[in-house]
Structure 1
Amino acid sequence: MPHFDSDAARLNAARRTRELAELRDHSGNAARGPQRVDVVVIGAGVTGAGIALDAATRGLDVLLVDAHDLAFGTSRWSSKLAHGGLRYLATGNVGIAHRSAKERGILMETTAPHLATRLPQVTPVLSNYSLVGKIAPRLGFLAADGLRIAAGTSGKTLPRSRTVSTKTMKELCPAVRTEGVHLGYVNNDGQLIDDARLVTALARTAAGHGARVLTYCRATDVTSDGAGGGRVTLTDTLAGENSGENSEDATPFQVEAGVIVNATGVWAGGLDPQVKVRPSRGTHLVIDAATVGNPTGALMAAVPGHTSRYCFILPGQLGRCYIGITDEGLDSDGIPDVPDVPESDVRFILDVINQALETALTTDDVIGAFAGLRPLVQFTDSGDDSTADLSREHVILRGKNADGTENNLVTVTGGKLTEYRLMAEQTVDLVSSILRNNGISAGPCVTASTPLVGAPGADGTVGVTRSDVAGLPTSMVDRFGLEAPAVLHDAQVDRPLEPVGTVDGQAVDVVRAELEFHITHEGALTVDDLLDRRTRIGLVAADRAACEATAQEILDAVLPTLV
């Protein structure tokens, strides 16, 4: 595995400008032709970033590009859960369930224990439930315990499920309805502090192992002949803006690769016509956590008429809770970059979750909402509009030329966030076999034992202990892990521990030093990057408005220093 370089793990505007110039200058030299790399990965969501890390740690020369920012698409719109696959076990998908449980354990115990923690999930049992309705959740949770054991995950990481009293339910979820409730069940699953932070950590760890990471770099005109590799045209979409480039740098240039990986998720069909993705919209509502008593556990409410679908109230960072989720099939034509949230989704979620609450929530309690598009691969046209029960299996396909022969475009799509590492491993296994035919060798997969930046044992934080983060804001440690001391140590911005904004007399739980670190180390180039992805301040419009000026001030102060 290549040596990890802490300086190389810093993503910022200066590095981006330098790497773009190197690729562009190489492409513009007629004698040399376009820069050639082993692998170009298109799409910097959790799957693409995971593939870049896997390939880089196997010793391959990797270029990761995205038309927007890290985690711009589906990867930032999840429930922020590291699922153990219970739902898929209930529907008979034992393979997905077992894989999910194993990958959850790797995430929580090795690769990102600073970003993935235990979340108790509370299911109240109402007296008017049928016998099956009363017993089925408990049986499911016992099966989930078995999955956890089979996956090798410690009982300290995820304690076994249990039957609890209404008092215990109230302690975990103060807003839970207790009338007609005699007991409840508690199951433990994994929860991410934030999905976009996982993607950022993956991309930075990949960069530390030698990968080049270019955001706001659109890939078009992907061609592959199946023999020598392929070629992709790249365009810097920020040229002339605040990233530091000149407007003439917007000229497209080309890069050659042994293999091109299409990891664009729900948009995969745009690069590979043999792939037909059927989007499914998953909507979440955002509420103030105080509205439901600041829960420490997730509250589950069954969707009427379904045995394996639930809505959740999930405690989150920044004093918020997320409530979801819907599962609505969409037309695959004209897939939006940022999906809208229809009123029908809001009503559906509130109707379901209010069954489990003492006091019903209304639309006045909803302070934000977001929707993500799941990439469900459709092999046949069944004519069925429902996507709720379609398999979440991922697919990895090698592209084909017009004559039916295989080329060197590999597409990976579908699947679940929790299985990103496995999807990446299987994709790079195929990539490695293709490259081997061209005389390029790759090492074995090591990502199951490679901690991400900020995790205990990660390269770059060796020697940093829990005592070094004592006294720092808890929320900062939650977001940065053992890199939290560096966030303050490296800060040059004025008033580093001052909150970035105040709403209704309450300080937003993000400090100025964090925004600087996002710019100097995590590749943030715009105010949107800072507020919508590196932090999740932008999920609530009022919070975003209160922090925009500070974000712009720090961006303007820090970017010129990155030379």
Structure 2
Amino acid sequence: MQNKPLTGRSRDEALEALRASGSGGQPLDVLVIGGGVTGAGTALDAATRGLSTVIVEAQDWASGTSQWSTKLVHGGLRYLQMLDFKLVHEALTERGLLLKTLAPHLVKPMPFLIPLEHRVWQRAYYGAGVTLYDLLANLMPGRRALPIHQHATRGRLHREFPALRHETAIGAVKYWDATVDDARLVATLVRTAHSYGAQAASRTEVVKILKDDDGRAVGALLRDLESGQEIEARARHIINCTGVWTDEVSELADTEGGLRVLASKGIHLVVPRERIEGSSGLFLQTEKSVLFFIPWSRYWIIGTTDTPWHESRQNPVATSADIDYVLEHANAVLTTTLTREDVVGWYAGLRPLLQPGTKEGTDSAKVSREHTVASPVPGLTVIGGGKLTTYRVMAKDAVDFALGERAAELPSVTHEIPLLGAVGESAMRRRMPALRARFGWSEQLTDHLLHRYGSLIEELLDLIAEDPSMARPLAHAPAYLRAEVAYACISEGALHLEDLMMRRTRIIYEYPHKGLAAVDEVASIAEQWLGWSTDRVRDELEKYTARAQAEEAAALEQDDAAAVRVRDRHGEVAPLSSMDR
């Protein structure tokens, strides 16, 4: 495998491959629609089977659900309550693969505490649950990826999470899961797929699924949202991986068949680490959802909510009521009192909830409680439901279903394909003391780099050798190096300022006021490495500033409809043309 960057040129090459397939050339083997974690995983699965593959995404990579998750790679303790052992084992197997083989640089072990208030039945109940959790994880071959659970006394609970109210707690169960930067996982999947031969085009919208006279899906009409040009592409297999937009994309094939997917909103708050004293994560159940306190670099991520969403699916927003709800539930269990002033940032995302059954006339295979693969018309495969942890299994199932009997000849191999940055990560880790001494970087900064890039840090060092100023942290977002912004421009497919602020970095919610203090420096680096004109820089700054101010204003509204009206006063850097996304 040759490590290939995602660049403007590689995007142009992907568009040309699409164009060539529809103008007398050979059709593609696979066209993947949707650049979230499932679509990115599907592109990697198809490419590593030797299939000619192009993946398109209407906005930026991970710009939908995949950038707004709870940042967890986990087996799903709640499914044990439903006695769904197969699903939990599947998720725990995938967690182990990510930790040990596929992405040890991106996926980080994390302990969690479940506080107990009843000495006998609760300790027995949760103890039995996490014991089974560990046993199911043990079924994976090889060395355990994470430690087994432990029972903690009240004193130990207090030492590990002093900020938790301990009046009624008699102890805790401590178990292990893992965290991940979801958007970086997606970007790395797309780059890995590209390195194995897949071609990738972001900001490329599917406006119609093309069918032949027999009603078989044979291609797609696409629009390059950067230029406005339309492209007709042909493919033997089209796989729809669009999450909460699954129904809308299927309708582009003029069919009502397919899967039923509803959207549910979840929000999370970002609070400085020093405001809550604790060294482990915390897992609690509320009357409506679950409440996680997740250590995240210099912050805590606190969430989540679970409420129906009936507004525009492109830009879900957190309302004032949402933020108050999470603060209220957090303050109910903490010794400290969090206020709005403690909230550095927040984010809202939509979960794709797969509804029971498929629509009439649809060929389908229900392969999991969590996800289903269907074919509303021949040639078009749709996958719905699922979760981030099991993206690889979902991708495998989708490609298997699309290929049919041919899948036996071309089996999936993604269980043994490390993502970019994984190979050599341990050797790079050993180089960190020397790099800290050389550049004056802190241990926290080098841990940050390892967790984001693994062995790809070598490519950051090449940038720094070319321009030593790249070794400096951003003045108003010092968790990030200038080199990281430059690298996102020339290797990670960033096209716009919001791509850099929201997904290549997470400045939008890790710094106050959506990171507006840092935006000028980020734009100046993009100007240097993307060749932006003065007018382009001004336009990008204006659009990101308007977006940031609109989202802050939306968070002052009490309900979803009012918040969306405020948010939608700001448009998009590459507006969609055919449907609500």
Matches within 5 A, 1:67-466: 67-126=58-117, 129=118, 132-152=121-141, 154-155=143-144, 157-192=145-180, 194-225=181-212, 230-239=218-227, 250-272=228-250, 273-274=256-257, 275-293=259-277, 295-304=278-287, 309-317=289-297, 319-331=298-310, 334-379=311-356, 393-400=370-377, 407-433=378-404, 436=406, 443-456=410-423, 465-466=428-429
Distance 2:178 2:294 in 1: 12
- The residue type paired with residue 369 of structure 1 is W
Judged with a 3 Å threshold, the aligned counterparts in structure 2 of structure 1 residues 108 and 153 are, in CA distance, closer, same or farther, namely farther
**Aligned twin of 1:242:** none
8 Å CA contact 1:40–1:62 kept in 2: the answer is: yes
Distance 2:299 2:487 in 1: 23
The answer to whether 1:479 aligns with 2:446 is no
Distance 1:349 1:479 in 2: 28
Which is worse superposed, 178-187 or 72-81?
A: 178-187
Cα deviation 1:31-84 (Å, max 9, x = unaligned): x43662111000010000000000000000000000001100001111110111
8 Å CA contact 2:21–2:27 kept in 1: the answer is: no
How much does 1:93 deviate?
2.1
Distance 2:469 2:74 in 1: 39
8 Å CA contact 1:469–1:485 kept in 2: the answer is: no
8 Å CA contact 1:65–1:215 kept in 2: the answer is: yes
How much does 1:22 deviate?
5.0
**Aligned twin of 1:529:** 499
Distance 2:21 2:285 in 1: 57
Higher helix share goes to which structure? Answer: 2
Secondary structure of 1:443 counterpart = coil
How much does 1:466 deviate?
3.3
Judged with a 3 Å threshold, the aligned counterparts in structure 2 of structure 1 residues 153 and 223 are, in CA distance, closer, same or farther, namely farther
Cα deviation 1:72-126 (Å, max 9, x = unaligned): 0001111110111211112222222111111111111110011112110012223
TM-score by length of 1: 0.84
Distance 1:425 1:470 in 2: 40
Secondary structure of 2:30 counterpart = strand
Judged with a 3 Å threshold, the aligned counterparts in structure 2 of structure 1 residues 5 and 97 are, in CA distance, closer, same or farther, namely same
8 Å CA contact 1:176–1:299 kept in 2: the answer is: no
- The residue type paired with residue 433 of structure 1 is G
TM-score by length of 2: 0.82
**Aligned twin of 1:544:** 515
The answer to whether 1:12 aligns with 2:3 is no
How much does 1:481 deviate?
0.7
8 Å CA contact 1:497–1:511 kept in 2: the answer is: yes
How much does 1:470 deviate?
4.1
Distance 1:464 1:557 in 2: 32
- The residue type paired with residue 236 of structure 1 is D
Judged with a 3 Å threshold, the aligned counterparts in structure 2 of structure 1 residues 501 and 167 are, in CA distance, closer, same or farther, namely farther
8 Å CA contact 2:156–2:171 kept in 1: the answer is: no
8 Å CA contact 1:119–1:298 kept in 2: the answer is: yes
**Aligned twin of 1:385:** none
Distance 2:479 2:21 in 1: 44
Distance 1:550 1:556 in 2: 10
Distance 1:20 1:55 in 2: 18
Judged with a 3 Å threshold, the aligned counterparts in structure 2 of structure 1 residues 543 and 265 are, in CA distance, closer, same or farther, namely closer
**Aligned twin of 1:496:** 470
RMSD of Structure 2 on Structure 1 (CA): 2.4
How much does 1:433 deviate?
2.1
Distance 1:73 1:392 in 2: 22
**Aligned twin of 1:388:** none
1:467 to 410, 430, 434: 430
Which is worse superposed, 230-239 or 217-226?
A: 217-226
8 Å CA contact 1:224–1:409 kept in 2: the answer is: no
Judged with a 3 Å threshold, the aligned counterparts in structure 2 of structure 1 residues 465 and 368 are, in CA distance, closer, same or farther, namely closer
The answer to whether 1:512 aligns with 2:507 is no
- The residue type paired with residue 467 of structure 1 is R
- Structure 1, unpaired ranges of 5+: 240-249, 382-390, 401-406
8 Å CA contact 2:21–2:235 kept in 1: the answer is: no
Judged with a 3 Å threshold, the aligned counterparts in structure 2 of structure 1 residues 161 and 222 are, in CA distance, closer, same or farther, namely same
Judged with a 3 Å threshold, the aligned counterparts in structure 2 of structure 1 residues 525 and 352 are, in CA distance, closer, same or farther, namely same
8 Å CA contact 1:376–1:392 kept in 2: the answer is: no
8 Å CA contact 1:164–1:186 kept in 2: the answer is: yes
How much does 1:431 deviate?
2.0
How much does 1:498 deviate?
1.3
How much does 1:510 deviate?
0.3
8 Å CA contact 2:57–2:205 kept in 1: the answer is: yes
- The residue type paired with residue 536 of structure 1 is R
Judged with a 3 Å threshold, the aligned counterparts in structure 2 of structure 1 residues 80 and 464 are, in CA distance, closer, same or farther, namely same
Secondary structure of 1:108 counterpart = helix
8 Å CA contact 2:489–2:529 kept in 1: the answer is: yes
How much does 1:471 deviate?
3.8
How much does 1:200 deviate?
0.8
Distance 2:341 2:270 in 1: 11
Secondary structure of 2:531 counterpart = helix
How much does 1:344 deviate?
2.8
Which is worse superposed, 160-169 or 80-89?
A: 160-169
Distance 1:501 1:453 in 2: 29
8 Å CA contact 1:12–1:519 kept in 2: the answer is: yes
How much does 1:362 deviate?
2.6
8 Å CA contact 2:113–2:280 kept in 1: the answer is: yes
Distance 1:430 1:25 in 2: 26
How much does 1:215 deviate?
0.4
How much does 1:415 deviate?
0.7
Cα deviation 1:410-456 (Å, max 9, x = unaligned): 0011011100000011111112227x4xxx99622110010000002
The answer to whether 1:37 aligns with 2:28 is yes
Distance 1:198 1:370 in 2: 18
Secondary structure of 1:358 counterpart = coil
Secondary structure of 2:55 counterpart = strand
Distance 2:409 2:239 in 1: 16
Distance 1:158 1:169 in 2: 20
Distance 1:420 1:470 in 2: 35
- The residue type paired with residue 14 of structure 2 is E
